[in-house]
Amino acid sequence: MQIVRLERRRTRPPRIRVHRDDGTTLEVSDEVASKFRLSAGDDVDERRWEEIREAHQRIEARRLAIGYLSYRPRSSQEVVRHLVGKKVPPEIAEATAERLRGLKMIDDASFARMYVRDRLRRAGAGPALLRELLVRKGIARRVAETVIDELLPGDEQRAAALRVAKQRLQRLSSRRESPERSRQRIYDLLLRRGFTGEVARGTLRQLKF
């Protein structure tokens, strides 16, 4: 097959639509067009056509990933899911994330630390909940465990649980219910927030009902 026309598209970013004499077309970036030195009259077989397509997909994946990372840090799997959602082939999405990890533009451990600190500051959370949330974000379990152990040792866990319990006790103070009922509510809340039963019971012993 032969390229019969190169059509510049007024898109953002700019694109070039490549037309072949069999009626097939392919939109590529200026970078790809320059790399492959595309021009009307070139013979382009199917193998070459697929090389051009894949080169464009890789460049487009990198552009999309960098744009996604510009708003805030992301985990590797968040980047992969975003790219796949943008119709990037999974294998190219994975390779793009791997390349960005090599460039230190993606760092799952740093992302996990930021996420844990934010959760502790905003709402308070215990290790079990933090682990679950990090795994949902695509963080490897061993990385999640290491970061949680680093940022939430025993004393910090107990302090975080006490902050959560005091905030809830303050809300419950206006209710006319028995101390036993209030204690149970706070205990259940601490378990939902990912604290162990031992930490929850120790926290209750520090409260005045």
What does the pLDDT look like over 153-188, one tens digit per residue?
Answer: 989 999 999 999 999 988 887 777 888 899 999 999
Tell me which residue has tokens 């077309």.
Answer: 25
Q: How many domains is the chain partitioned into structurally?
A: 3
Do the domain assignments include residue 162? Answer: yes
Kindly report the length of the chain.
209
Burial degree of 200 (CB within 10 A; 0-12, 13-18, 19+): buried
Give CA separation, 29 vs 3, 62, 191, in Å: 16, 12, 52
Residue 147's pLDDT is what?
96
Q: Are residues 46 and 92 in the same domain?
A: yes
Does residue 95 register a pLDDT over 80? yes
- Of 68, 102, 136, the position where a domain reaches its end is 102
- pTM for the model stands at 0.79
Residue 82 shares a structural domain with residue 139: no
Shared domain for 139 and 124, answered yes or no, is: yes
| pLDDT at site 122 | 84
Could you tell me which of 205, 159, 199, 198 has the C-alpha nearest to residue 183?
A: 205
Range of the domain at 133: 108-151
